[in-house]
Amino acid sequence: MVYQGIIIAVATVAGCGLLISIFLSIFGKRFAVEVNEKEEAVLGALPGNNCGGCGYPGCSGLAAAIASGQAEVGACPVGGKPVADKIASIMGVDAKAFVKKVAFVKCSGTCEVAEESYDYSGPADCRSAAIAPGGGSKKCSYGCLGFGSCRNVCDNDAIQIVGGIAVVDPEKCGACGKCTKVCPKGLIELVPYDAKVRVACSSKDRGVDTTKACKVGCIGCGICAKTCEYGAVTVTDNVAHIDPEKCTGCGACAKKCPKKIIVV
């Protein structure tokens, strides 16, 4: 009787195990998630920083977008041309010309030239200072607050606070875009590394008001736009803008700028 009980117990357990394995096999096949081999290969080629500089939620998000044709093979700003070439090979396409980018701070309002409205005594953080009266203590409500929120999120130590404003070292910058997202003033943008001429101001105030707030702020006079022979310079909302695709880097606009806010 003892042996018979053991045999029954073993048979029952084995039968249950067999039924469960059959059920799991059927369930697995029915609800299996297909693996996109190209997506996996692209993910393996990406650097894995998960910085979000590409505009997608991490490397896995970008890999899915590239595999589905929603993003360019060179969409990863950190990987650069080597990664773009490798992904292009995986996708079986030709890699388009890769444009290296760097972060640029569109402000020149250092402590020496920017006027202060009051002494700020709150938390030493740009996002906190930006919600203070006037958008910060500077008279220019568009200017860099200089507390280094951008520097604190930079993994490459590419940003330093010099003279009260953020300054980017283009040789260290990986163009991940973290600084562009954390700046409450929206002063930082990714520009082509080879862009020789840039406007270091973001003030949209009228010229007379800008001058009262900052000695070097763009006054929107339009001399730069009139000087440019290639139509690369325009003035919108009282501040100059340069189209890097049209700009030849001649520097004529910078020479004519009365405020010397266009830098070469």
Q: Which CATH superfamily is domain 37-91 in?
A: Electron transport complex subunit B, putative Fe-S cluster (1.10.15.40)
According to the model, what pLDDT value does residue 54 have?
A: 82
- For 216-226, how does the pLDDT look when each residue is reduced to its tens digit (9 = 90+)? 999 999 999 99
In the chain, % of residues over pLDDT 70: 89
- For 162-198, how does the pLDDT look when each residue is reduced to its tens digit (9 = 90+)? 999 999 999 999 888 899 999 999 999 999 988 889 9
- The mean per-residue pLDDT over the stretch 220-244 comes to 96
- For 119-171, how does the pLDDT look when each residue is reduced to its tens digit (9 = 90+)? 999 999 999 999 999 999 999 999 999 999 999 999 899 999 999 999 999 99
Question: What pTM was computed for the model?
Answer: 0.74
For 102-192, CATH gives 3.30.70.20
Query: Per-domain residue ranges for the chain?
Result: 37-91, 102-192, 195-264
How is residue 185 annotated by DSSP? T
More confident residue, 74 or 147: 147
Per-residue pLDDT band at 14 (split at 50, 70, 90): low
- The mean per-residue pLDDT over the stretch 232-236 comes to 96
Asked whether this chain's domains 102-192 and 195-264 adopt the same fold, the reply is: yes
User: Tell me: domain 195-264, CATH 3.40.50.10490, correct?
Assistant: no
3-class SS string, 48-107: CCCCCCCCCCHHHHHHHHHHCCCCCCCCCCCCHHHHHHHHHHHHCCCCCCCCCEEEEECC
